[in-house]
Chain A
Amino acid sequence: MKMIQHQTLTISCAIGLLLIAATSHAEVDAHSRNLAASCTSCHGTNGQSVGGMPVLAGMDKALFVTSMKDFKSGARPSTVMQNHAKGYTDEDFEKMAEFFAAQKR
């Protein structure tokens, strides 16, 4: 009897863990979301700019990464973006791009 209870518990825990794993894989991870949130004071919540600054929500991933790398190198001239882009790594750009690409325009 005791053993059966124990097994049931183990199985339900395992199912629970599977469920947690499934949900977190379905979404962009929290660190990518948090990184992207450092853009959103200027570019709008979830990248949905309300004017002036480009909308990042739904942006093509490669376009985002290339733009940021070009701001960083100076290949693409900018006023403020060079000061931001230089503060992030190429890996950060990939993560932010993944988050914004997944957002509705």
Chain B
Amino acid sequence: MSFDRRDFLKLSAAGIVVGVFPGCATSSSEIVKKKGQRVVIVGGGFGGATAAKYIRMWSENKIEVVLIERNPTFISCPMSNTVLNGSRTLSDLTQDYNTLKSKYGIELVRGEVKAVDPQKQTVTLADGYLSYDRLIIAPGVDFMFDQIVGLSSEVAAESIPHAWKAGAQTTLLKKQLESMADGGVFAISIPKAPYRCPPGPYERACQVAFYLKNNKPKSKVLILDANPDIVSKKGHFMAAWNELYPGMVEYRPNAEVKRVNVAGKTLTTEFEDVKADVLNVIPPMKAGAVAGMAGVITVDSRWCAVDFLSYESKVQKNVHIIGDAVSAALPKSGHLASSQAKVCAAAVIELMQGRQPDPNPVIANTCYSIMSNTEAVHVAHVYRYNAEKQAMIAAEGGGVSAKRSEIEGTFANYWLKNILSDTFL
């Protein structure tokens, strides 16, 4: 969290100054004193940060926004597969939170949420609490390590990285790829859908193969997919593997990894043991932990059912959920988290000002996958609210690129630049 001097003086005047000193603080003190109508947002990714900015912008700064985030900076998952072969660095994908504070007046609180009380309408952190009129939870995904014997968050951090949140594990996986001998096998294990970023694992296979083709051409990428078929952009990925990386990428469907052996570098599926030199196991996922604390996980003990006009929870009043944590027939992408955030922001403002949300929300998704160092393909859809089904339904005319191309590789770069700007600047 950060305070300027004015905030400090105001708080001193209010007689609660003890609460702002880390160490002296207790969970009984309010971290930032609530002055007017307030939205607290948990999670500063594409969803949460966009919601924060748009609530301030569209309410003309009438509604207070406090954004809680545990990381000092944001690192984009989109494009992070290209870090593995050195096409980009993590710093190219890193964005700070300074502008959200300076330009939009969003209160940033750095920390980890410990509890949510939907009745008292408070969120508790280690050094105090925050009260809210409405809460937006944008927690992304947590990994279900317990679904795979031998896997844990420690094993993932040290030896079998998922690298499914860009950061330290991306760097570890890159190092493992670079240390692999020519002739080695790089295994990628994909969980059953739904998971974050449907085409991401197949894009990763392309980016790893690009590195191997240029550096270790006798090596292989082995994909063990728990799904019965390639989940997204199938034709384009098969074409890329055949045409750009012939003989390097092997795809095995219905191959759900049940067990890992760290020392033996082995993955076990229902049918076989697979030895590999680099093990990249992407575990099954569920809504981030804060959703559980707020009691809004309602679908398969994993995801959150919401009203798609407002993204308000189906079970907790004044608690909204956006992004990957939502249960929806929508791909779990950064772009859709951002799109949902805008609908949620608009609805929250209407509701807090005594009006009804827009009854006809329309959102869009564009998702680029990078096939080499220059070429990309897209999948894009518009989704419209269907009142009868109470769901977002893909409009006709969406779909994938006609062919992979360099121009789409260029658009992909500008997509990242623009969505980061729309979210954080």
Contact = CB atoms under 8 A, between A and B. Distances in A.
A30 B396 contact: no
A44 B418 contact: yes
Nearest to B383: A87
Q: How large is the interface on A (under 10, 10 to 19, 20 to 34, 35 or more residues)?
A: 20 to 34
B322 to A, nearest CB: 14
Contacts, number: 115
Interface string B407-425: 1101101110111011001
A53 B395 contact: no
A104 interface: no
B405 interface: yes
Contact of A31 (B360, B395, B398, B425): B360
Given A30-B346, A86-B396, A41 B408 contact: no
A80 interface: yes
A94 B267 CA distance: 55
Nearest to B359: A31
A45 B335 CA distance: 14
Q: Which of A35, A38, A49 has the most CB of B within 10 A?
A: A38
A52 B272 CA distance: 47
B102 to A, nearest CB: 16
B385 to A, nearest CB: 11
A102 B378 CA distance: 30
B361 interface: yes
B358 A84 contact: no
B359 to A, nearest CB: 9
A19 to B, nearest CB: 14
Interface residues of B, number: 46
A65 interface: no
A45 B342 CA distance: 11
Contact of A87 (B350, B360, B382, B410): B382
Contacts of B346: 30, 33-34, 37
A38 B415 contact: no
A34 B407 contact: no
A41 B417 contact: no
B398 A83 contact: yes
B313 to A, nearest CB: 21
Given A83-B397, A84-B382, A86-B398, A50 B362 contact: no
Given A51-B414, A80-B411, A41 B397 contact: no
A73 to B, nearest CB: 11
Interface string A45-82: 10001111100000000000000000010000001101
5 contacts: A38-B362, A38-B363, A41-B418, A44-B421, A50-B418
Interface of A: 30-31, 33-35, 37-45, 49-53, 72, 79-80, 82-88, 92
Interface of B: 53-54, 57-58, 335, 338-339, 342-343, 346, 350, 358, 360-364, 366, 378, 380-384, 394-399, 401-402, 405, 407-408, 410-411, 413-415, 417-419, 421-422, 425
Closest 6 CB pairs of A and B: A86-B397, A52-B414, A87-B382, A87-B395, A83-B380, A38-B364
